[in-house]
Amino acid sequence: MGIRDIELTDIDGKSVTLGDYADKVVMVVNVASKCGLTPQYEKLEELQKEYGDRGFTVLGFPCNQFLGQEPGTADEIKEFCSTTYGVTFPLMDKIKVNGRGKHPLYTELTQVKDQDGKAGKVAWNFEKFVIAPDDAVSRFRPKTQPDAPEIIAAIEGGLARNAAA
């Protein structure tokens, strides 16, 4: 089974997979509403608006594993994201990204090395994984801003490979 076959549940309880986004460059991000990095939602939404019509989407995965910074229910998370940051990208069901009960998607993603050559546990909220349509994955740690040049390069590279396919 490949990364695109892993079962996911969206924030409304609907079953999906990354395969539903097979023709897109996907940025997977573990998100939280009460974190010092929460303002990254704004830049994530800007990326969604800038690249969405070119075959890109952000997928937000709420996670409460880091100091309980995502305590809300699905409805509370949706309301917060919509009213505070105008989020239009898909949100998924709350998951675990580390340890026992870690979601199978993150079992795969945490094997990917970051820019410093380090794989392993998700460090904190807002760790980003850019997945190209050819399943190439780039990993960016939480403090890397969503619009950082290296992330834009990963998005653009995935879009270019997708257009050439």
The count of domains in the chain is 1
- Retrieve residue 61's tokens: 């995965």
| Residue 84 identity (one-letter amino acid) | T
| Residue 35 identity (one-letter amino acid) | C
What pLDDT sits at residue 1? 64
* pLDDT (mean) for 61-77: 97
Residues noted as catalytic: 35
Chain-centroid distance of CA 38 in Å reads 13
How does residue 161 score in pLDDT terms, banded at 50, 70 and 90? confident
CATH number where 80 lies: 3.40.30.10
How does residue 2 score in pLDDT terms, banded at 50, 70 and 90? confident
* pLDDT (mean) for 153-159: 95
Listed residue (114, 14, 126) closest to 66, CA to CA? 126
CB-based contact 64:94 (threshold 8 Å) = yes
* pLDDT (mean) for 138-159: 97
* pLDDT (mean) for 114-129: 96
pLDDT at 164 over 80: no
Please give the residue range of the domain that contains residue 108.
3-164
What pLDDT sits at residue 131? 96
pLDDT > 90 in the chain, percent: 92
| Residue 55 identity (one-letter amino acid) | G
* pLDDT (mean) for 85-107: 97
* pLDDT (mean) for 83-111: 97
pLDDT at 104 over 70: yes
* pLDDT (mean) for 16-34: 95
What pLDDT sits at residue 89? 98
* pLDDT (mean) for 113-142: 96
* pLDDT (mean) for 27-43: 97
Listed residue (116, 73, 126, 94) closest to 10, CA to CA? 94
Instruction: Report the distance separating Cα 49 and Cα 44, nearest Å.
Output: 9
CB-based contact 110:119 (threshold 8 Å) = yes
CB-based contact 140:115 (threshold 8 Å) = yes
